[in-house]
Structure 1
Amino acid sequence: MKNSWIFGLLWLTQILSAQKTMQGQVIDYDTTIPIAFAMVSYQNQTVYTNWEGRFSLVIDEETKPIQVSYKGYHDKNHYLSVGAPFILIKMVSDQSQKSAEIYTDNETNAILKKVIENRAKNQPEKVLQTYEYKNYETLLVTANPDSISTKIDTIYKPRWFGKPKMVLDSSNYKFKKLVEKQHLYQTEKVNLIQFNNYGTKETVLASRMAGFKKPLYEYLGLNLISYSLYDRYLDILEVTVQNPISSYGRKMFVFKMVDTLTIQGRTVYRIYFQPKKLNSNKLRGLLYIDAENFAIAKAFFRVYGMVNINATYTFNWLPKHNIWFPEKRKLLVVKGDNSEDLKLFGGTIMFNSSIEGLEQNASDRMYLKLESKPFDVKINQNVVTRQPAIRIDVPESSMSKPDGYWRIMQRDTLDRRKMPTYINIDSLATAEKIEHKIFLGRKIFNGYLPLGKFDLDLRSILKYNNYEGFRLGFGGTTNTRFSEKYKIGAYVAYGLKDDAFKYHIAPSLLLDAETNSWASLSYTDDVAEIGQIQFATESRRFRIYDPRPINISTFYNHKTASAYWESKYIPKTDLYAGISRSAIVPRFEYQYQQGDRLLGEYTLTTLQMAVQWNPFSSYMQTSTGRLEINKRYPKFTLQLTQAFDQLLGADFQFSKIDFRINHEIKYLSGQETGFIIQSGLVFGEAPLTHLYSIAPNNLNRDALLKRITIAGKNSFETMFFNEFFSSRYISFQARHTFNKVKIAYRIKPEISVVTRMAFGTMENKERHLGFTYKTLEEGYFESGVEVNQLFKGFGITFFTRYGPYGLAKFEDNLSLKVSYNLDLGF
């Protein structure tokens, strides 16, 4: 009997050792995106993957296959690898089912319809009269030390002579030791969120950023994930995506009922959603829907691609108000299927490539984590906000809170790496002068180099065009070290070819720092391109060169005295108003016939008003003025110009209206689509110098190779200089930019497809004498491809013109140019 017990125990041990529970995951072969709720069968077991594509199976015979099936993919038989600790099954999409779609079942569809119909009853901004809460937010760039190997690798470096040199690579070891002591980067802020009849307002109460005495305003304005889940669009990593619980979202996503469960005593449906195109890297997630009022009680969002993004929302049930109110937001960003250096927010946060230096074990373990938690919530109490149209207010006092303040706010006392991070990165920032580099970078980005109390204008140093030849100059403006109340801008230049000096001076007085309001006087004696389209509110950006004027030879001299006012007084707008008198001398063969007079030289007195309106952008109010922090589109620009006859000796009277719409669409995949609609109208008599040439950029030469020059950004590359002029026109441009294409190591061009068109007319054409040109009544069309940043910022562009103004000789319709894009890392 005793021996039988021993025999039975041995037999049971053998059976148990033959059985083992193994974890696995099912992913798409091409994109590595997990496949949720796929059916996994093994022997007599059938399980389904969860929303992360993971599953668990009891394996008792390793020679038997695991069978996986999912609509849109080929069925897969997967055999276990000997000794494999984890099962990874890659499924190949079925091309024959590419047009097939997975539809939402009727029951789940009915629930989603009620969620959308009841948004106004569940969104706090729609239900509550007012609310107010403080919010503690922390952002970390860090890594888990336990996930990093301490192995020191042996690598071989080639030498010119002799055998390769063997060296030890301790990058992973050093990286692990670093993240055991501190985070790689961190920031914290406390803000006050207020809502009333005027909308939602954020006031920063405290902020600090490792390495900086004062936090960067750009960071304080980052909106990495949306506060509300009920708006039509969601913000994830500063990219706008379609909300799945919107009317259009129901058409883009397929929804699957997973189960029902209980949260805070209330029954909720757990519903999974994914794009109808299965291998898309669009949004996926889980929604927890209250079964009674169809509100969101919890949500998980995930995006797979160059970065893997995980966003979590939790809500707290408030019985008194019958609403789920935000409790916590969490964002986790890790490096995805990408072997390149990855920069987020213009290089503020960067994930190194696993090809260089750290190899995969270290750099790919880095992640960004943001946590945001409300406290001191007050509902339906009196809430008063200052300047509600300004979304974020940053008082100067918020940037200098003592350490004691932060110790109260830091409820996570288990994180011992926080304080060493501030100490070590502060010393690193001091040693490397990071703040000074960012200050310098901001200046250069706007075209200036700070030299004490004076900012040198980098664009004034050297220029070239066919009229002036090489233009040498010196200019700039005083900065706040000189005075915070006034500034003086000036330049002087000399053209080697036209042998003439040009100069400009403009003193300005600060009227109001909060609204960036300035009053200025100026006097200019210089030359300008004819037919140029300029908006007074257009922001200045640095370019090493301005490519178009290089090949222009038709300029006019103007001596202009003006007085003007600039301001951001009205929220979300840039305002300009000015009056000027100009004495014009065309530097080409031209006369205007005005009755019995032929005007070869003339005077203009004009009043100009302009407004740049960015209704969808968000603005921040700081002690130094207003900043556009979240640039949203479309943007609108309107400019009105009125010329007065006989006023101050003026020769012309006309009205001019210029209008432009800019629109950009950014995608989570990294691609981007842009549109520009622009129009100009002149009423009355106006000289050719102040009409429209619509930015041509092509030399009138016979051979294609002789026309190779530098491409512009939004110019018509196949239109010859001075070929077309209009007194009224409308133009349209569309551009789609794809992700960078890796051709070779460090050769990753950015490819864009572009199309442009323009229509125009010319009134009083017979009055413009001595100058030959055509008009655009039938429409001008061109399309092409830009391969930018092919090598060291240089690229190539290829365009062709077609339509009514296509030329008889095929080669004359083509344009081949060199492009250059300077990446300053901002």
Structure 2
Amino acid sequence: MRKIIITLLGCLFMLPIFSQNKIIGFVKDMASSKPLPFATILINNSISVITDAEGKFEITLTNETKEVKVSYLGFETQKISLTPQSDFYQINLNPKVEILDEVTVYARDNAALRILKKAVAKQDENDPDKVVNNYRYDAYEKILVTANLDSVNQWVNQYKPLSEKDTLSKTDSVDFQLINSLKKNHLYISEKISTVNFTKKSGRTENIKAYRMGGFKEPVYEVLAIDLLSLSWYKPRYTLLGTEYRNSFSPQGLKDYFFQITDTVMIENRPGYVIDFKPRKANMPGGMQGTLFIDTQSLALQKVIIQVDGGISIKATQDFTYIKDENIWFPTSKELIIRQGDANQRIELLGGGVSYKPEEEADGLKSDAIKSPTKLVYFTAKTTVDRLEVNQLADLNPSAYDIVIDKNAINLSDSEWQKLRPEPETSRDVETYRVLDSLVSAEKVEKKINLARKLLAGWYPTKYVDWDLRTLVKYNVFEGFRTGLGFLTNDTFSKRFRLEGYGVYGFKDTSVKYSFGGAVKVFPETNTWAGINWVDDLQEVGNTVYLTDQRIFSLFEPRLFNIELFYDTQILSAFVEHDFSPQLISKFQVSTGDFFTKFDYTYQNDGKSFNFYQLGTITWSFQYNPFSRFVKTNRGKLEVKQGFPKFSLQLTKSIDGFLSGDFNFFKAEGRILHEIKHLDNTTTTFLLEAGWGTGDIPITHLYHASPNNPTDSRIMKRFSVTGRNSFETMFFNEFFSDKYAAFHVKHKLNRFNITKKFRPELILISRAAIGDVANTQKHIGIDFKSLQDGFLESGFELNKLYKGFGLSFFYRYGPNHLPNFDDNLSFKFTYYFSFGL
């Protein structure tokens, strides 16, 4: 768009002889007079340009060009004769009225379908990631929230007070403020320059050399997690703005979409089919429509245009260039444009995390023909590829990170940016950066974002210390209310050394608990820390805690309320944290400590009775997240997108006589977490947990399978908080195992749109567990059962009924079904914190 404006201004100073060779114009819908973005303009049967978000185009012609052909999905193609006297054209296309015969549309001899079947069968021969051994290119990405200047000026010319005495309403005044701003600057701007390296062995790595977000001294790195547009069209699913859609150019797409040949075209002197596609079913989940340009010889993609219409309108284009030596079409540029849509239909963004539906327009404008200027505003993200090298990299050693941000990438001067930027910076760009820098600084936006990051992780940041919100207040039946304060030094204190600790007090057991420790970063490149820690606190009997688990913060911990059995610990630990790669992290820990239960319990071993014992243990814990995306920043490693499945493994060895230990045992536990997001925005989650122990294991270190049912015979007395991954009908302390496996399945449905504000969410859940325990006679003072016959429960959660609160119902059945019917039921409330989305 900026190039068009600059070119038009330049035309004012050109000789008249050249002006007749340049034309500009708009393509609109004949019926509604609305612009048609991404309409295709053909000259000599070859693509010349694609109209922009406002349906505008600009073409430089030769003297021999007498006509152009304009096409758009769902509209009749039109040929336009050109005359020397005209340099501006408004082209109105008629909507195409299609009466489709299902027999014709879906017949096996459909020409478009035959071509697509052959093209899909040859995907592996045309996908650059599978054909070439390596490639490298430079990419420039520019993101704007802006409006076309011509449209802004047109709005100003239309919207004039009826007389000098007229006063503007509050709404009108805001509109004019927006318009005045759009004349001078965009509403938002961001730029990124990077080098992308790819090898078949190591995959793709992006090295960001320059990164700038308007107003921010340091970019919000979490934005990198959003897949604005997929990198490849040769996969079963395609991503637009973080949401996955069914790819029409895939085996499943052949079944889900209708295809129709509308034209042929020449791109880079190679003929191509123009094939429109749209979903077979009007409301198909994850469906989109658009146009595929397919090489008639290689059947590779030459160009793709797609659109999704709803409460917002999403348009995207993907261009390819032909590499003769490799006989492949390689993606070279992509553009995404998002604007307010006309359809009164809810649309999901960011993987379903945000849902948008347009509000009904309010009255109050002076003329129905004059729309709010907010409708002129659109979001655009364009990426162009330069200096492409294919199969020319003799020695390439890509980083283990998905994205690496150079140390100086966010601190480049304007002159350095000018050298790297492949296109000139416009006056609107410059003014936008100035306005945003002033606005973000005045509103202290960066400070607020940092505060939000910390709060979501359970920290309240100050200059040198972050205070632990998890220690402020908790409740359980043994301690009653537990209050205190914890801390962790931050990077301002030191980037190579950290101190942490907490102190809390239980009002029911009238006992103080505390912890203190510190660590030194030994090798920053591998995030290797070495440290020591002392803890004097309570632990839940039978609970498993992975040393590599990420910190989780919630307003309250559901299971904690009803836990009855605790044991006291006084443990001194020395540890080493080390990242073998961004995806594989580990923690090695050697501990010695004293343990004694807070209930009547004795463990008998080798003729001795223990109600107090010491353990000397060695623990090695691993977490492997192969499908998550990691960014290397000046602050260190950052996980910007979670991928599934995730794997955890922990090995613990207690040695008799080691660090005064009393028992000899070995434990191994593992966990696999997998989540599948379906195209209809429903989600299925699988959790598999297992543990195996052998040797002399006291009850404190057995497995309890995560029960969450208070021990009371009356169902309403058991009404409490539903856990996240716990057995809701399994009573506390009912089962303990030295070997077990548990499997959880959850299926979350879309929220029910009952009213605008009342949108409950249903989750269907089933759980199963099996296990065993040896030498039960060694455990004196507590009765428990074995899981050798298995355990089954199923139920549902109806969440977000009011302010994050909901209800749950579960039923226990199978081998451990109880004689009293009420004892098999669980009725509780749920709570999921949200921001009202």
1:769 corresponds to 2:780: yes
User: 577, 589, 606: which is aligned to 1:566?
Assistant: 577
Name stretches of at least 5 consecutive residues in structure 2 with no aligned partner.
1-27, 33-69, 79-95, 162-168, 365-370
- Which residue number in structure 2 is paired with residue 663 of structure 1? 674
Equivalent residue of 2:408, what SS? helix
Partner in structure 2 of residue 263 of structure 1: 267
CA contact (8 A) 1:586 1:601 kept: yes
Q: 1:244-255 counterparts in 2 under 5 A?
A: 244-255=248-259
Range 638-647 or range 520-529, more displaced = 638-647
Contact in 2 for aligned 1:466/1:553 (Cα 8 Å)? yes
| Bigger shift: residues 464-473 or 167-176 | 167-176
For the pair 1:354 / 2:368, whether they are aligned, the reply is no
CA contact (8 A) 1:211 1:427 kept: yes
Report the equivalent of 2:185: 182
Secondary structure at the counterpart of residue 492 of structure 2: coil
User: Do the aligned partners of 2:226 and 2:350 also contact (CA within 8 Å) in 1?
Assistant: no
Q: Is the 8 A contact 1:515 1:626 kept in 2?
A: no
Superposed, which structure 2 residues align to 1:93-108 within 5 Å?
102=106, 105=109, 107-108=111-112
Shift of 1:419: 2.3
| Deviation of 1:613 (Å) | 0.8
Question: Residue by residue, what CA displacement relative to the aligned partner does 1:712-762 show, whole Å, maximum 9, x if unpaired?
Answer: 222222222112222222112222223333333433333322222222222
Displacement of 1:439: 0.9
Contact 2:576 2:589 in 1 (8 A): yes
Q: 1:338 to 1:710 in 2, by over 3 A?
A: farther
The aligned amino acid for 1:189 is K
**Structure 1 residue 110: deviation in Å?**
4.4
CA contact (8 A) 1:702 1:812 kept: yes
The corresponding residue for 2:586 is 575
Alignment correspondent of 2:115: 111
CA contact (8 A) 1:730 1:759 kept: yes
Residue range with higher mean Cα deviation, 760-769 or 580-589: 760-769
| Displacement of 1:693 | 1.2
Tell me which residue corresponds to 1:140. 144
> Which stretch of structure 1 is more off in the superposition, 730-739 or 276-285?
276-285
Please give the residue correspondences for 1:41-190 in structure 2 after superposition, counting only pairs within 5 Å. 52-55=73-76, 69-70=99-100, 102=106, 105=109, 107-144=111-148, 146=151, 170-190=173-193
Name the amino acid aligned to 1:53: G
Residue 729 (str. 1) matches residue 740 (str. 2): yes
- Conservation of the 8 A alpha-carbon contact between 2:528 and 2:578: yes
Q: Which amino acid aligns with 1:266?
A: R
Deviation at 1:242, TM superposition (A): 5.1
Q: Secondary structure at the match of 1:656?
A: strand
CA contact (8 A) 2:242 2:350 kept: no
Aligned amino acid, residue 490 of structure 2: N
Structure-2 separation of matches of 1:679 and 1:51: 56
Q: Please, what TM-score do these two structures have when normalized by structure 1?
A: 0.82
- Alpha-carbon distance change, 797 to 343 in structure 1, aligned in 2, over 3 angstroms: same
One-letter code aligned to 2:831: Y
Correspondence for 2:615: 604
> Deviation string for 1:203-249 (max 9, x for gaps)?
10101001201212222454322222224543332344554444444
The 2-side partners of 1:538 and 1:329 are apart by 38
Question: Counterpart of 1:229 in structure 2: which amino acid?
Answer: W
What are the equivalent positions in structure 2 for 1:205-244 lying under 5 Å apart? 205-241=209-245, 243-244=247-248
TM-score between the two structures when normalised by the length of structure 2: 0.81
Q: 2:74 is aligned with what amino acid? A: G
For 1:715 and 1:153, locate their aligned partners in 2 and report how far apart those are by CA, in whole Å.
64
SS of the residue 1:69 aligns to: coil
8 A contact 1:51–1:272 mirrored in 2: no
Indicate whether 1:550 and 2:561 are aligned: yes
Match of 1:692 in 2: 703
Return the letter of the residue paired with 2:652.
Answer: T
Paired with 1:143 and 1:670, the residues of 2 have a C-alpha distance of: 31
Find the counterpart in structure 1 of residue 521 from structure 2: 510
**CA distance in structure 2 between the aligned counterparts of 1:609 and 1:775, rounded to whole angstroms:** 28
1:244-643 matched pairs, under 5 angstroms: 244-281=248-285, 282-305=287-310, 307-335=312-340, 344=350, 354=359, 361=372, 366-382=377-393, 384-407=395-418, 416-643=427-654
Kept in 2, the 8 Å contact 1:644–1:650? The answer is yes
Among the aligned pairs, what percent are the same residue?
Answer: 35
Q: Are the structure 2 counterparts of residues 275 and 610 from structure 1 closer, same or farther at C-alpha, using a change threshold of 3 Å?
A: farther
Structure 1 residues 353 and 51 mapped into 2: Cα distance closer, same or farther (>3 Å)?
A: closer
Does the CA-based 8 Å contact 2:352-2:681 persist in structure 1?
no
Quote the residue 1:743 is aligned against. 754
**Structure-2 change in CA distance of 1:543 and 1:327 (3 Å):** same
Amino acid across the alignment from 1:689: T
How big is each residue's C-alpha offset from its partner over 1:73-103, in whole Å with a ceiling of 9 and x where there is no partner? xxxxxxxxxxxxxxxxxxxxxxxx9xx9945
Match of 2:56 in 1: none
The DSSP-based 3-state class of the residue aligned with 1:125 is helix
Question: Alignment partner for residue 830 of structure 2, among 792, 796, 819?
Answer: 819
Does 1:194 pair with 2:197?
Answer: yes
Contact 1:171 1:358 in 2 (8 A): no
Give the deviation of 1:604 after TM superposition. 1.8
Displacement of 1:551: 1.3
Distance in 2, matches of 1:71 and 1:466, equals 69
- What pairs with 1:775-794 in structure 2 (closer than 5 Å)? 775-794=786-805
Letter of the 1:191 partner, please give it.
S
Distance 1:242 1:152 in 2: 42
Contact 1:659–1:680, Cα closer than 8 Å, also in 2: yes
CA distance in 2, matches of 1:255, 1:517: 55
- 8 Å CA contact 2:602, 2:609 repeated in 1: yes
In structure 2, C-alpha distance between the alignment counterparts of 1:458 and 1:423, rounded to whole Å: 37
Q: How does 1:11-26 map to 2 (within 5 A)?
A: 23=30
- SS across alignment from 2:452: helix
SS in structure 2 of the partner of residue 706 of structure 1: helix
Per mean C-alpha deviation after superposition, the further-off stretch among 167-176 and 510-519 is 167-176
Conserved in 2, the CA contact under 8 Å of 1:658 and 1:679?
yes
The equivalent residue for 1:43 is none
Give the paired residue count.
739
Q: Do the aligned partners of residues 340 and 101 (structure 1) sit closer, same or farther apart at CA in structure 2, a change above 3 Å counting?
A: closer
In the alignment, which residue of structure 2 is the partner of 1:80? none
Q: Distance in 1 between matches of 2:829 and 2:363?
A: 36
CA contact (8 A) 1:391 1:620 kept: yes
Stretch of structure 1 that moved more, 351-360 or 715-724: 351-360
Distance change (3 Å), C-alpha of 1:408 and 1:483: closer
CA contact 2:333–2:384 (8 Å) conserved in 1: yes
Question: Does residue 1:714 correspond to 2:725, yes or no?
Answer: yes
In structure 2, relative to structure 1, the CA distance for the partners of 1:564 and 1:330 (3 Å cut) is same
- Residues 241, 689 of structure 1: alpha-carbon distance in 2 compared, 3 angstrom cutoff: farther
Report the AA paired with residue 195 of structure 1: F
Q: Deviations over 1:764-796 (max 9, x none)?
A: 223222212222233322222223233222222
- Larger displacement relative to structure 2 (704-713 or 328-337): 328-337
Unaligned runs of 5+ in 1: 1-20, 26-48, 58-65, 73-96, 155-165
- TM-aligned CA deviation for residue 605 of structure 1: 1.6
Q: Which moved more, 1:296-305 or 1:231-240?
A: 231-240
- Counterparts in 2 of 1:1-20, with a 5 A limit? none
CA contact (8 A) 1:210 1:421 kept: yes
8 Å CA contact 1:605–1:644 kept in 2: the answer is yes
Range moving further from structure 2, 380-389 or 322-331: 380-389
Whole-Å separation in 1 of the counterparts to 2:784 and 2:686: 28
Contact 1:339 1:354 in 2 (8 A): no
Secondary structure, in 3 states, of the residue corresponding to 2:526? Answer: coil
- Tell me the amino acid that sits aligned with residue 298 of structure 1: K
Report the equivalent of 2:65: none
- Supply the AA of the counterpart residue of 1:291: T
- In the TM superposition, residue 346 of structure 1 has moved relative to its aligned partner by 10
